[in-house]
Amino acid sequence: MDRNGQIAALLRDFAAIQKSKQSMWGYKRAASAILALDEPIESLLNPDGTLQKIPNIGPSSTRIILEVLQTGTSPTIEAAIAASGQTADVERRRGLRSHFLSRAQVVAALRNTKLTGPRVEDYRGDLQMHSTWSDGSQTLEDIIETGINLGYQFCAVTDHSYGLKIAGGVSMQELAEQHKEIDRLNKRCRGRFRLLKGIEANIRADGTIDMEPHELAQLEIVVAAPHSVLRSPDDQTGRMVRAASAAGVHILGHPRGRMIGSRPGVSADWDRVFAAATRSNVAIEIDGDPSRQDLDYDLARRAMTAGCIFALDSDAHSTGELPRYAETAIAHARLAGIPTDRIVNCWPLERLMEWARSRSG
């Protein structure tokens, strides 16, 4: 039982039924604080049964936490939900939290020597992150500096394509300017680090990519990801098979597009999608954004059985999200038992670029 995840989920349920926005945000902050703990909540209990001080956890949330630790549930929250008239919505949200790891579970997976798969020290670089050129808060210089400090050999900046205007998608003219800046920075960092020219392209509802083939050919790494039709129960296998087979695509990014407690993401016959990706030699992404965790370890095992290769990415929009988001992706890969040879982030730069060129060609 992951008590951190259980308590955070209950606090989010409580937040959802609050009439006061201040209370709602307070319980949401408390839930996030619990999910972000490196250690199990049980380790923060004092000998007298009180709880050590945790930032963003107030007296009301503390009482709920102690209630769960003492009884295994929260009668306070369950009674409040029952009286709220929102039981159905709460139950719906609860059904959208499967296979998400708390930070404590991530740390445990990284430390567990019985698990196979990639270690943090095997990870050579991140292939999905966003900069100030689209919807990120980190500059290209920030990405390079952080990558070097983490011991990475490379990173790809994958700002959103022009088809996703809501996320500040970059025009082709802006992309050309960004590439000149990347060339300048790579010249300065030659031999120490390489910033790859990438994009996060949008997968349209029909499975086509929102960029032209000659435009994709200008990129070194193309992450294609779904950003629409993410709540529909309709089967979208054809959409995702087409995207996984598209020329110029390197990585199928956060394939479901799910969000914790919010949306289920794309519904598809994933074994067929994984088979298509294997045929095309397209990498399946494990996105380490804590709210995404997409693919999760269970579905990643099926992709591994299908013969897929993988990309483990942070999807970071700020340097503060590194390296924790990447570690979440690595934890899922460890739980799935994916060999490092099947993970493009663990390849030497030369092998990575040889594969990238084969997909671009």
Nearest of 151, 159, 32, 19 to residue 85 by alpha carbon: 19
- At 189 the pLDDT is 95
- At 165 the pLDDT is 87
- At 1 the pLDDT is 75
- At 320 the pLDDT is 94
- At 166 the pLDDT is 85
Cα separation, 50 vs 40, whole angstroms? 15
Q: What is the mean pLDDT of residues 149-172?
A: 94
Q: What is the mean pLDDT of residues 190-205?
A: 97
CATH class of this structure's domain 3-94: mainly alpha
- Give the dihedral sign, CA 131/133/134/137: positive
Q: Is the pLDDT of residue 59 over 70?
A: yes
Q: What is the mean pLDDT of residues 136-155?
A: 97
Q: What is the mean pLDDT of residues 309-331?
A: 97
Q: At 249, phi and psi to the nearest 5?
A: -90, 135
pLDDT-derived band at 361, boundaries 50, 70, 90: low
Rounded alpha-carbon distances, angstroms, from residue 174 to 34, 134, 160, 161, 179: 40, 10, 11, 10, 9
Q: What is the pLDDT of residues 77-116, one digit of tens each?
A: 999 999 999 999 999 999 999 999 999 999 999 999 999 9
- At 228 the pLDDT is 95
Q: What is the mean pLDDT of residues 7-16?
A: 97
Domain ranges (residues) in the chain:
3-94, 114-360
Percent of the chain with pLDDT over 90: 98
Domain covering 114-360 in this structure, CATH number: 3.20.20.140
Strands of the sheet containing 125-126, edge to edge, are 125-126, 154-157, 194-203, 221-226, 251-252, 283-287, 309-313
Q: Is the pLDDT of residue 283 over 80?
A: yes
User: Which tokens hold the place of 125?
Assistant: 């670089």
Cα distance between the two ends of the chain: 48
**Residue 243 near residue 203, CB atoms below 8 Å:** yes
- Give the dihedral sign, CA 24/27/31/33: positive
Q: What is the pLDDT of residues 220-242, one digit of tens each?
A: 999 999 999 999 999 999 999 99
Q: What is the mean pLDDT of residues 280-284?
A: 98
Cα separation, 326 vs 307, whole angstroms? 23
**Residue 15 near residue 90, CB atoms below 8 Å:** no
Q: Is the pLDDT of residue 47 over 80?
A: yes
Give the relative orientation of helices 3-16 and 75-84 as an angle to the nearest 10 degrees: 30
Query: Whole-prediction pTM value?
Result: 0.96
Rounded alpha-carbon distances, angstroms, from residue 325 to 116, 307, 314, 316: 20, 25, 5, 7
Residue 120 CB neighbours (<10 A): 14
- At 360 the pLDDT is 82
Q: 53: which residues sit within 8 A by CB, 6+ positions away?
A: none
